[in-house]
Amino acid sequence: MKKIDRPSPVRFYAMLMIGIGLVSIGAMLFLLMKNKSDVAASSQDFSTVPVQVDFAAPKLDLTDLSGRSVSLDDYSGKVILVNLWATWCPPCRDEMPTLQKFYEKYKEKGFVLIAIDQEETPEVVAPFVAEFGLTFPVWLDLDYLAEREFNTSNLPSSYVIDRNGTVRLMWIGGISKSNLEKYVPDIILE
């Protein structure tokens, strides 16, 4: 019978330590690369970019949170960002602080933001408005009239109407600060 040469215990443990070291180095490199890609992804803006459009703003008559009749015609001559949203919609919630800051920055320049809640009652919407400290007009649309008039079924959806009553930009999805600042001020300053 042939005798099998076995490595010495010292050599076995040395090889085992080298193997563990290589696996550890590989795991650390993997984590470092993953963190780099996570940082790169988080610094990119994945929000929706608006589409340039050109159509007449619809006639839209609704009610505000206090039950008063309101109309897009009430804001004739202003640049209007109409935002269709709902309290249960995560991207709608995410964009509200950005919309509020943008409104505060440009409201003195003839800009108004009108947030039109889809199919929710004042009892649901009012606490949301208070939670986010919204100061722009909030309207209620219990019958999805705005969705039909703007021909959408997606939330959030936003439309920028110029001073002449023409819809110029359309967003389907959430809006970021960078995309608001990139696309809307030029229309406000025209």
**Which residues are catalytically annotated?**
89, 92
Both tokens of 145, joined, read: 């009239």
DSSP 72-117: GGGGTTSEEEEEEE-TT-HHHHHHHHHHHHHHHHHGGGTEEEEEEE
Angle at 135 between CA 130 and CA 140, to 5 degrees: 75
The C-alpha atoms of residue 36 and residue 181 are separated, in whole angstroms, by 27
